Amino acid sequence: MNFTTLEKLQYQELKDIVKSYCVSGLGKQLLDKLMPSSNLAIVKTRLNETTEARVIVDAEGHVPFLGVSNIEHIMTKLAKGMILDPSELISMSDFLRGCRNIKKFMLDKEFFAPVLSSYANSMAEFKNVEEEINFAIKANRVDSAASRELKRIRHHIETTEEKIKERLTKFLNNSANKTYIQEFFISQKDDRYTIPIKASYKNHVQGTIVEISSKGATVFMEPSIVAKLNGELATLKAEEAVEEYQILASLSGLLMNHLHALHINMELISQYDMVFAKAKFSKQIGGMEPRLNDYGYIQVINGRHPLLPGNAVPLQFTIGKDYRSLIITGPNAGGKTVVLKTIGLLTLATMSGFHIVADEGTELAIFDHIFVDIGDNQSMENALSTFSSHMKNLSDIMRASNNHTLLILDEIGSGTEPNEGAALAIAILEEFYQMGCITIATTHYGEIKRFSEMHPDFMNAAMRFNSETLEPLYQLMIGTSGESNALWISKKMNVRAEVLQRAQDYMNHKDYQLTRVQDSKIRKPKVEKAGRAAIIEFAKGDRVKLLDHDDVGLVYQEMNQFYNVTVYYKGEMLEVHVKRLALELPATELYPEGYDLETLFVDYQERKLQHDIERGSKKALRKIHKQIKEDHQQ
C-alpha cells in the first residue's frame, strides 16, 4: 500500500491505538507488520477473526495471556545452539504454561468462535518440559535438587565453608592477633575468605594477600590456617559450575528438540494477541463488521472516523453503484476533508480486519490501490503544498492506478488560475473515470460542479450549512451542489457587514459599482517646493559625502544660484549638485576658531614654498625668479 496514503489517512495512528490493547510484545510486533490486504478472502478471514474474538471478549471479559511474553531473543539463542541461563529458562516455562492455558481456553470456545478455536489445535503442549524446568530452576538459580551430584557438591561446599569460618573466628578471637587486625570480621574476596589486616603488619601474619584497600591501609589476607580449605572450596565451586552448566545444557536441549513446534506456538500466540487486541478495540468503540465487495461499491450508514470523538456528526455516504465519481462542494470549514479521510481510513481499517463504527447495512469495497492527494490546507505545517507538487502527485497516481483503485482528491485543480485549474481538473477526473477508478474529490470550482451535473456517471454532493446563520452542519448531502461559503468565513473573520452585503449583491446581479471616488477622499502625494530654505546650506571646510563616489571631500565654495557646491576631492575641484551631497561633519567641529581654511585646498609643496619665502630662504627666492623668467619667455 502507498506510504503517502497511509500517512495522510493516519493509518499508523489507528494501529497504535489498537496496539495498546496487546498484552505482549509478540502481538505488538505482528500489528507493526500488519498492512491492509487487497485480497477479499484474506480480508473476510481477518474480519471474521475479529468478530469471533469480540464475542469471546463480550462473554468472558478477559483472555488468559498470563505469563506470555516476547521470547524471540530466547528463540534466537536456541536456534544458535546457545545454552540458556536460569532466568531465560523460567521465561520459556512461563511461555509454555501460557500456551497451554490459551489452548485450553480456546478449545472450550469452539461453539462461539469455530475459526479461532481451530487454530488452537495446531498449538503443541510441553507440560513435561515445563515441569523439568520448574523442578530444576527455583528463584532464578539451579536448585540443589536438580541432580544428586549437585546436591552432594553443595553439601561439601557448605561443610567446607563452615570449617573455614570456624578457623577464622578462632584467628579473630586470638589475643595474639589483635594488634594486626584492622577490623574484626570475615570478608569474602574473589570467593576466598579473608581477614582485614593492617598494612604495616602484613609481614607478621602468615598467609596470602588477596586484595589491598583503595587507600592501602588495609590488606585482605587469607591466613595460612585456611589456605588448604580455601583451595578445596575453590575446587568444589568449579565442580558446582560444571554440574550447573550440564543441567542448563540438558534443559536447553529439551527446548531445542522442539524448536519448530515452539515457533508455531509463538506465531499462534502472536496471532491470538493481535486478534484479541482488535476485539478489545472494537468493544471500546462499539465497532461492527461491515459487508464486503470487490467491485467498488461503498455504502456507509452513520459511519464515524475512528480517531474523532464520539460526538462527531455521523456520515451517510454512497458511491460505486449509480455513479463512480463523487464531487463534493461546500464551505471551507464545512468538513469536506473529514469526509474524504473518513472514507479512506474506514476502508483501510476494514482491509486490515478492524471493526468500524457504523450501523448495520454498511458495505465497503476492497481495492488494489488507494491513493490520496490531500494538501491539509487547514494545517499550518502542510499548507505549503504547491500546485506543481499536487500535479506531480496526480501524475504518479495516474501511472499506478487501475480499474480497482480508490482515489481521494482534495481541492483538485486548486493553486493556479481558476479557468486553467478547473479545465485541468475536469480533464484529470475524466481520465481517471475512463480508467475505471472510483473517485471522491472536493472542489470550489463551479465549472467542475457543472461538468459533474452533466456527466451521467458523476454525482455532486454538498456539505450542509444553516441557510440563516451560514454555520456548517457537517452533513454530506449527495445529489446537490453547494457553495464554497466564503461569505460565512469572512463574516467569522469580522469583515464589515456592508462589504459582505455588496459581495452578495455582486454574486446575484453582477451590478458592480463603477463610480469614481471623490478627489477630496484621495490622499495625494506631497510636492516638494524648490527653495534654499528646504536645502542644506553647506559652508566652506565642511566635510561632505559625495553620493556618486561613495567617498568624502571638503566644501571649497558654497552653493551658487544653480544649487551647485564646489567640492575639493582628490586634488580636484568638482561642482556637485547640493542633493548629491550629505553632511558628515561641519567645519566648526573640525577646525579651531580662526583656522585658515585656505590651507586645506593647497598641496604640501605649495605650503612648503610659502613657508620658505616667509623665513627668507634664498633658495626659495631663486626658484621664484626662475619661474618668473620662464613665464616671460613663454
Q: What's the pLDDT score for residue 382?
A: 43
Q: What's the pLDDT score for residue 210?
A: 83
Q: What's the pLDDT score for residue 192?
A: 82
Nearest-angstrom CA–CA distance, 73 and 86: 15
Element (H, E) at 351: helix 336-351
Count the Cβ atoms, other than its own, within 10 Å of residue 330: 29
Single out the residue of 305, 283, 261, 38 nearest to residue 275, CA to CA: 283
CA distances from 491 to 190, 332, 435, 511 (A): 83, 13, 42, 22
101 and 66 in contact (C-beta within 8 Å)? yes
**Structure confidence by residue, pLDDT tens digits, 164-201:** 888 888 888 888 888 777 788 888 887 788 888 888 87
Q: What's the pLDDT score for residue 615?
A: 63
Q: Residues with Cβ < 8 Å from 8, sequence gap 6 or more?
A: 341, 344, 372, 374, 376
Strand order through the sheet with 369-373: 369-373, 405-409, 438-442, 325-329, 458-465, 472-478
Element (H, E) at 552: strand 551-557
Amino acid in the structure at residue 80: K
Residues of the chain with pLDDT under 70: 330-334, 375-386, 466-472, 481-489, 507-534, 602-634
Nearest-angstrom CA–CA distance, 274 and 116: 12
144 and 151 in contact (C-beta within 8 Å)? yes
Count the Cβ atoms, other than its own, within 10 Å of residue 533: 7
Q: What's the pLDDT score for residue 379?
A: 41
Cell of 553: 571631500
Cell of 301: 450508514
> What is the DSSP track for 432-493?
HHHTT-EEEEE---HHHHHHHHHSTTEEEEEEEE-TTT--EEEEEEET------HHHHHHHT
Length of the chain: 634
409 and 375 in contact (C-beta within 8 Å)? no
Q: What's the pLDDT score for residue 378?
A: 41
Nearest-angstrom CA–CA distance, 29 and 274: 9
The CA-based angle 361-347-291, given to 5 degrees, is 30
Q: What's the pLDDT score for residue 217?
A: 85
Q: What's the pLDDT score for residue 504?
A: 74
**Structure confidence by residue, pLDDT tens digits, 505-546:** 776 665 666 666 555 545 555 444 544 445 778 888 889 898
CA distances from 309 to 278, 285, 313, 363 (A): 19, 10, 10, 22
CA distances from 60 to 115, 240, 276, 288, 528 (A): 17, 48, 12, 19, 92
89 and 252 in contact (C-beta within 8 Å)? yes
Q: What's the pLDDT score for residue 296?
A: 93
CA distances from 141 to 60, 93, 135, 145, 624 (A): 37, 14, 11, 11, 120
Q: What's the pLDDT score for residue 300?
A: 96
> What is the DSSP track for 250-278?
HHHHHHHTTHHHHHHHHHHHHHHHHHHHH
Nearest-angstrom CA–CA distance, 199 and 282: 73
